[in-house]
Amino acid sequence: MRIYQAETYQAMSRRAANIISAQVIYKPDCVLGLATGGTPVGTYQQLVEWFQKGDLSFAEVRSVNLDEYLGLSPHHEQSYRYFMQTNLFDHIDIKPENTHVLNGLAKDPAVECAAYNKLIRDLGGIDLQLLGMGRNGHIAFNEPGDDFGLETHLVSLTENTIEANARFFASRDEVPRHALSMGIKNIMNARRILIVVNGEEKAEAVYQAFCGPVTKQVPASVLQLHPDVTLVGDKAALHKLA
């Protein structure tokens, strides 16, 4: 595993964007696995800036997102589709038809999940998967205790995650209780993984994930078993690794 410790959130974001842009330059039609949440916002801003400067093109890139809230339409401001449009897709030259986010309004979640697994396979698998990490060690919406063998599935969010995500909603009650999420198996099948973490509130989870045992209680700990993981974080998040 490679670890890059950056001084600041901005430096962390630039480093993560560097790794993504290297992937896109090396393989212009690559499949990027993308994440939402607060952590990657700066990374996406940096990619947009390089695109606007003419240093980078996403014209052939295909993307698959990790997860989506169940019950939110793509136009809902807290949906992950909306997040991706406003933070990245609307500002770069990626083709809309090449961007894939699970449908939060799917009538039959099981059918939607199975179709998403097939889609990932049909795309040839994920070249580079970007991840954030929850304070309880979750990756995508794979919560503590979830099976490592799962592919895309319907998830009940834990109280911890509902609490953490309430900051994006008008009230805690508005946070959806369910989501559709890639499983650990989809993530582990990605050829490369880039995980970004910032802030003291992530320090303990980072320590547990990378210095503790591989356990379902800390979903991100499974990444210790992946052959190509890069961890990029700021000092506050990484200080317990020293």
**Active-site residue, from 68, 112, 127, 143:** 143
Q: Is 35 in the site for ligand F6R (CB under 6 A)?
A: yes
- 142 in catalytic set: no
Alpha-carbon gap, residue 129 to 220, rounded angstroms? 13
Q: Which candidate in 65, 68, 127, 138 is catalytic?
A: 138
Handedness of CA 134, 136, 139, 140 (dihedral sign): negative
Active site residue 127: no
Known catalytic residue: 165?
no
Query: What residues are paired with 4 via a beta bridge?
Result: 232
117 among known catalytic residues: no
CB of 155 to ligand F6R, least distance (A): 10
Binding status of residue 16 toward ligand F6R by CB under 6 A: no
- 47/92 Cα distance (integer angstroms): 9
66 binds ligand F6R (CB under 6 A): yes
Residue numbers 81-140 binding ligand F6R by CB under 6 A:
132-134, 138-140
Tell me the closest approach of the beta carbon of residue 233 to ligand F6R, in angstroms. 12
Residues 63 and 95 sit within 8 Å (Cβ to Cβ): no
Residue nearest to ligand F6R (CB): 132
8-state DSSP, 158: P
Q: How many helices (H) and strands (E) does the chain have?
A: 8, 10
Q: Which of 39, 79, 208, 221 binds ligand F6R (CB under 6 A)?
A: 39
Selected range binding ligand F6R among 37-45, 84-92, 208-216, 232-240, rule: CB under 6 A: 37-45
Q: How far apart are CA 26 and CA 12, in angstroms?
A: 21
Nearer to ligand F6R, 55 or 147 (CB): 147
Contact flag: residue 193 with ligand F6R (CB under 6 A): no
Q: At residue 118, what is the residue type? A: K
For residues 153 and 151, give the distance between their C-alpha atoms in angstroms, rounded to a whole number. Answer: 6
Please state the φ and ψ torsions of residue 115, each to the nearest 5 degrees.
-65, -35
- List of residues contacting ligand F6R (CB under 6 A): 35-39, 66-67, 132-134, 138-140
Q: Active-site residue numbers?
A: 67, 136, 138, 143
